[in-house]
Structure 1
Amino acid sequence: MTLFEAIIFGIVQGLTEFLPISSTAHIVITQLIFGYTFPGLSFEIFLHLASVLAVTIYFWKDLWRVIQGFFKFLGGKREENKTQFFFGIYILVATIITGVLGMVLTDVASDAIKTPPFIALALTVTGVALIFIERFHRTGNKSEETMTFWDSVLVGLGQTLAVIPGISRSGATLVVSLLAGLNRETAVRYSFLLAIPVILGSTVLAIDDFSVTMVDYIGPMNLVVSFVVTFIFSMIGIVWLIDFLKKSKLIYFAIYCFIVAILVFTLLDPTMIMEVE
């Protein structure tokens, strides 16, 4: 891998991780364009760590408030900590559901879902879901104080679909959260905070993929550069998305998904299997 390619991979991962356009699909497409086949998910997970570092730093106050409130409520069950305690529970519930079902779906998934036509279809589904939630669903008014256990179950189930390349994790959590009746601010915050345990959990599960061979294949310097670039552009993506959603609509991401789906379907060899596991 060249230094230029390492930078490109970092930019792609950083910008697409938190946008509702499927970072996995974009990393795989970039991989195909450059002609790389990475063993396992080692490189992708490595870049995900940079993204989770970015979201942890950006939301550290929110994260610390949830953790602090969670344990304070356990210790004294004070009413002022009740909301953060249950919000922490809802994060754990959605994460556990995603982790368990994600492993099951990954094990039974066939190579058919790793081909360009299937990824194009999955991107189209993501786009349709974004249009539906924006155009045909009335935004709810549930906040952290009023969301329920079943809301977290639904979001966990929706997030599980992101094991399919082309289905966006952030898009799935946003869409299902809004379907469950959460207001947009709570849905966005919930989606970002959910990324932390989900990505860290996937890293632990993929730890066996990390090896000296992977480091030699990509290059130590290229790994460092791609990590730093991913972190920087993840920060940019987070700030930009939060600001964008205050002013604009999810439909623009849907249009983007449709365009990428058309390009993937028409320009990539339909018989090619995308290495995403």
Structure 2
Amino acid sequence: MSVIEAIIFGIVQGITEFLPISSTAHIVITQILLGYSFPGFGFEIFLHFASILAVVIYFRQDLVEVIRGFFGYFANRSRYNRTQFFFGLYIIVATGITGVLGMLLEDFVGASLKTPPFIAIALAVTGFFLIVIERFVRYGNRTERDMTFRDSIIVGLGQTLAVIPGISRSGATLITALFAGLSRDTAVRYSFLLSIPVILGSSVLAIGDFRDGAMVSEVGVIALIVSFIVTFIFSWLGIVWLIDFLKKSKLVYFAIYCFAAAIFVYFFLDNSMIIEL
């Protein structure tokens, strides 16, 4: 992989990872346009790890509060510790649901779902539900203090849909969290924090590629370093931008983009291709 390609993949991954527009779909599109195929899952997961590092650093104070309150609840059952304890449980429950169902559904995501037409449909579905949640569902005002296990189950089930190529993980969690009645700020925070255990768990899949040296020899050490740094920088910018954007604007703009991307994928990419994801 050339340095230019590494930069491009880093930018695409970083920008799209946390926006509700499916980073997987955009990585696939980029591969097709550049005529480059990843050597297994390792490189894509490697880029995801850079994105998650940006989340951990950006939300470090939130993470410390949740972890401290979670374990502190066993010694001091204050109202604050109780809120953080159950919020931590809701993250664990949603992650568990996603992990178990994701592994079960992975075998059913066959080659027929890994083609440009299906990815285009999945992008359009994401756009449709972004419009539905924006236009036809009244936003709730419940925060972490008001959350229940029902919320974590709903969001966990929604997040599981991201196993389908073209369905955005961040979009699915945002939509289901807002549908459950959480406030926009709480839904965004919950979505970001949920991404940490989910992506870290999937990172285990990349260990084999590093161990046998296949990914390193195929991609190159310099390209790996460059892509990681670029992904981290643009993931950080994406986090900052999305949080600021959602305070002022609406999800419908992401829906419009998803429809435009779906049209491009369906009409301008080779529909006979089967994408290895």
| Pairwise same-fold verdict (TM > 0.5) | yes
Alignment of 1:1-277 (within 5 A): 1-210=1-210, 211-276=212-277
- 1:51 Cα deviation after fit: 0.2
Unaligned runs of 5+ in 1: none
Question: Partner letter of residue 219 of structure 2?
Answer: I
Aligned residue for 1:182, secondary structure, equals: coil
Matches of 1:24 and 1:75 in 2, distance apart? Answer: 43
Q: TM-score, normalised by structure 2?
A: 0.98
Aligned amino acid, residue 235 of structure 1: W
CA deviation after TM superposition for structure 1 residue 141, in Å: 1.3
Q: Distance in 2 between matches of 1:160 and 1:69?
A: 27
Higher alpha-carbon deviation: 45-54 or 74-83: 74-83
Instruction: List structure 1 runs of 4+ shifted beyond 4 angstroms.
Output: none
Q: Once the 2 structures are TM-superposed, how far is the Cα of residue 209 of structure 1 from its aligned partner?
A: 3.6
**Contact 2:105–2:163 at 8 Å: present in 1 too?**
yes
Deviations 1:39-86 (A, max 9, x none): 321111000000000000000000110000000002333333000000
**For the aligned residues, what is the CA RMSD?**
0.9
- Alpha-carbon deviation of 1:205? 3.7
After TM superposition, give the deviation of residue 35 of structure 1 in Å. 1.5
| More off after superposition, 206-215 vs 134-143 | 206-215
Structure 2 CA distance, aligned partners of 1:163 and 1:142?
28
CA distance in 1, matches of 2:105, 2:177: 22
Query: What is the TM-score normalised by the length of structure 1?
Result: 0.98
Partner Cα distance (1:28, 1:133) in 2: 27
CA shift digits 1:199-241 (9 cap, x unpaired): 0011124432434111111110000000000000000000000
For 1:178 and 1:237, locate their aligned partners in 2 and report how far apart those are by CA, in whole Å. 20
Amino acid at match of 1:219: G
| 8 A contact 2:41–2:205 mirrored in 1 | no
Q: In the alignment, is the contact (CA less than 8 A) between 2:39 and 2:214 conserved in 1? A: no
Structure 2: give runs of 5+ residues left out of the alignment. Answer: none
Q: Kindly tell me the number of residue pairs found equivalent between the two proteins.
A: 276
